[in-house]
Structure 1
């Protein structure tokens, strides 16, 4: 965290101070051996907190035939840990809402905070996590640094806050302006207040500063904000994508997010009454849930297509892989037989590629491969397929292309490859390539199987290399070879 920001926070006189009841609840939250008598006595001293706790215990949060009528019954129903967390949520929220953000409209902030808290609780329940009320409190406080920065430097912070389109953009703007984000400021503040460490850590986990949030509490907090944004920004595909990605890190799919949103909608009225804030209008709830679910399903389909595409690609160059090449050749070979249209297959090999690796290193060799693939793909039609066949050998499938047209294309590709200049450190690396091709259903050219077809192109490539490299060889209808340079 920026030392100057830390110093300003330490000297700031406008940050909220915790009331006595909040300090006592914090002590109870840090105690491993909280007695019911102590908690009930603390809550009973604050009539407003007593009323809140009773309303929570009688809300949709806790389904019970027996409705608690006093603090003791409420704590007995909710459990000690949950009661402490709920009490802590109320006392800290009241401390901030009564004192900070006076120069800014913080309505959106509080809506997101409460929606995130509800989302974290719902996601945690679906993930089977213990102490889901801890998740509620942690998610509620995850962006508390916004309020700390707004209290500390209202004039400087106001334009940064007002210009940000969403929470992620706000974090980026804060770091650009102050070299500090609200995640770090929130962590500092909650640690200073001596809240349990996992609550302070949640401020950092909410924006995944850690290398990889554990598939538990921190991942749940990281997912809660994006899921809340589904409600705040309905119809936004980018928001849906972030929510789905965050939930996937938690091990949940789109259906689980949809279920969590339904639970959130059921519990929202109780939270609106308890915190005196409108999360969304009842008339909007159904439309928001439907849009969110549609976006999540769309994102899931997109991810499935992306996964399928990645499984067909060579990781280094981005060209298709050999397995996909062979599948396409088999399919196109059958279509060529059925409809009688020509099909050409070509193989190419970078000349003396081993010497490139030996002279310049494997990193330079990889750069040559990547550059060559990008250059060649610019010359191809959308329906053409370019694949890495193995090592420095690549393959082309040219549907509907005669041997004459393919020959012209390969001569052009041979020229662009020989014109490549790849800079590695202070040296320029150049290469040439040899090409071999064969055509099916073009004049008298016929093959019995697609395997024999590929083998013919491979034999033509070998002939081109044997004849001196940097040339194109075609397999003719008599089993011989014709060379082009």
Structure 2
């Protein structure tokens, strides 16, 4: 039987069982739902520009300025408490200069992704908890990658923020299968194993395929696809390992925040730390950084998720 390896502390193979659905793929699912979960055109154009080293600031300002909603979001971002500027920024050109291209790219895509799923409706998911966990993962990934330079930090921040969007697609488009997967998880079974056994692909494949349809670069989509099997990632294995590790930290924090989570309660395969090129000794400082910043970040990316706080 075909198998897919899972990169976690209990590495295993995922069997394809007889119940696997025929004639369905991650690509076919995303083709059916991409109009429902679409990035604004200006955000896609801006992403392409910001990925091109020859792009000028004037071109970036022009793209942002033609979209009033995007302009408003950029100004809100740059003037937020997260950046802590001493003076107000009132123009897009100044915002671009102050934020810098890499942070601008990350924050515009992050807020645009939040909008793409703003009207997501499913009885199977709590969107407030979903975005909180996603922001935990994004900040953890950025903190873990901070020693690798700002470009790596911004890339893995985005990949980690979006690493579970495939779950949202699955909840919306495949609710019956999602119910079976959630039941399996409740029994203590591995989520990716259950998804692959039922569908022949996982939510990571769905998420990566959606990001590819959004025309995001491979440096962002590959870590999402290979988040649980980073050793198979063709070009961005470290980023995939960072995303997986950040996801585990987010789960750990979500379950243990009331008890002040620390490294002593976090048991992860040493090989994953090695693949991420990180030392477990930094975990406490990572958790502290996430705990310090998540509230500000989620208020920018998914403000509706703040209604419960």
TM (normalized to structure 2)?
0.76
Q: Which has the higher Rg, Structure 1 or Structure 2?
A: 1
CA spacing shift, 1:137–1:163, aligned 2, 3 Å: same
SS at match of 2:190: helix
Pick closer, same or farther for the CA change 1:6–1:73 going to 2, 3 Å: same
What is the aligned partner in structure 2 of residue 459 from structure 1? none
Relative to structure 1, is the Cα distance of residues 55 and 123 closer, same or farther in structure 2, using a 3 angstrom cutoff?
farther
- Secondary structure of 1:271's counterpart equals helix
For 1:5, the equivalent position in structure 2 comes to 25
Partner of 1:153: 174
For residue 253 of structure 1, the aligned residue among 250, 267, 279 is 279
Separation in 1, partners of 2:228, 2:185:
16
Structure-1 separation of matches of 2:187 and 2:107: 27
Say if 2:243 is the partner of 1:221: yes
Within 5 Å, give how 1:57-456 maps onto structure 2: 57-59=78-80, 61-98=82-119, 100-107=120-127, 108-128=129-149, 130-161=151-182, 164-165=185-186, 169-211=190-232, 216-234=238-256, 240-242=266-268, 246-274=272-300, 275-276=302-303, 277-278=305-306
- Look up the SS of the partner of 1:242 in the other structure: coil
**1:244 and 1:253 in contact (8 A); partners too:** no
* Aligned alpha-carbon RMSD (Å): 3.4
> How far apart, CA to CA, are the structure 2 residues paired with 1:56 and 1:244?
37
Aligned residues: 280
How far 1:137 sits from its partner (Å)?
A: 1.2
Using the TM superposition, give the Cα deviation of residue 146 of structure 1 relative to its aligned residue in structure 2, in angstroms: 1.2
Distance 1:15 1:152, change over 3 A: farther
The 3-state SS of whatever aligns with 1:233 is: helix
Contact 2:125/2:171, CA 8 A, preserved across alignment: no
Distance (whole Å) between structure 2 residues aligned to residue 166 and residue 40 of structure 1: 51
Whose RCO is larger (CA < 8 A, sep 6+)?
Answer: 2
Deviation at 1:163, TM superposition (A): 5.1
Q: For structure 1, which runs of at least 5 residues remain unmatched after alignment? A: 282-485
Task: Tell me the SS of whatever aligns to 1:164.
Answer: helix
Distance 1:66 1:216 in 2: 38
Relative to its length, the structure with more strand (as a share) is: 1
Q: Give TM-score, length-normalised by structure 1.
A: 0.51
Q: Is the 8 A contact 2:252 2:266 kept in 1?
A: yes
For residues 307 and 189 of structure 2, the distance between their equivalents in structure 1, rounded to whole angstroms, comes to 20
Task: Supply the distance in 2 between the matched residues of 1:161 and 1:227 (Cα, whole angstroms).
Answer: 20
Q: Aligned partners of 1:270, 1:35: CA distance in 2, in Å?
A: 30
SS of 1:104 mapped into structure 2: coil
* Cα separation, 1, equivalents of 2:103 and 2:255: 30
Separation of aligned partners in 1, 2:26 and 2:88: 46
> Residue 24 of structure 1 corresponds to which residue in structure 2?
45
8 A contact 2:211–2:221 mirrored in 1: yes
Q: Does the aligned pair in 2 maintain the 1:247–1:257 contact within 8 Å? A: no
Q: Deviations over 1:399-453 (max 9, x none)?
A: xxxxxxxxxxxxxxxxxxxxxxxxxxxxxxxxxxxxxxxxxxxxxxxxxxxxxxx
How many angstroms does 1:175 deviate by?
1.2
Matched residues in 2 for 1:164 and 1:70: separation?
48
Kindly tell me: are residues 230 and 102 of structure 1, through their superposed partners in 2, closer, same or farther at Cα, counting changes over 3 Å? same
Distance 1:162 1:239 in 2: 26
Deviation at 1:174, TM superposition (A): 0.8
- Which protein has the bigger helix share? 2
SS at match of 2:124: coil
Which ranges in structure 2 are unaligned for 5 or more consecutive residues? 5-21
Q: What secondary structure sits across from 1:12 in the alignment?
A: helix
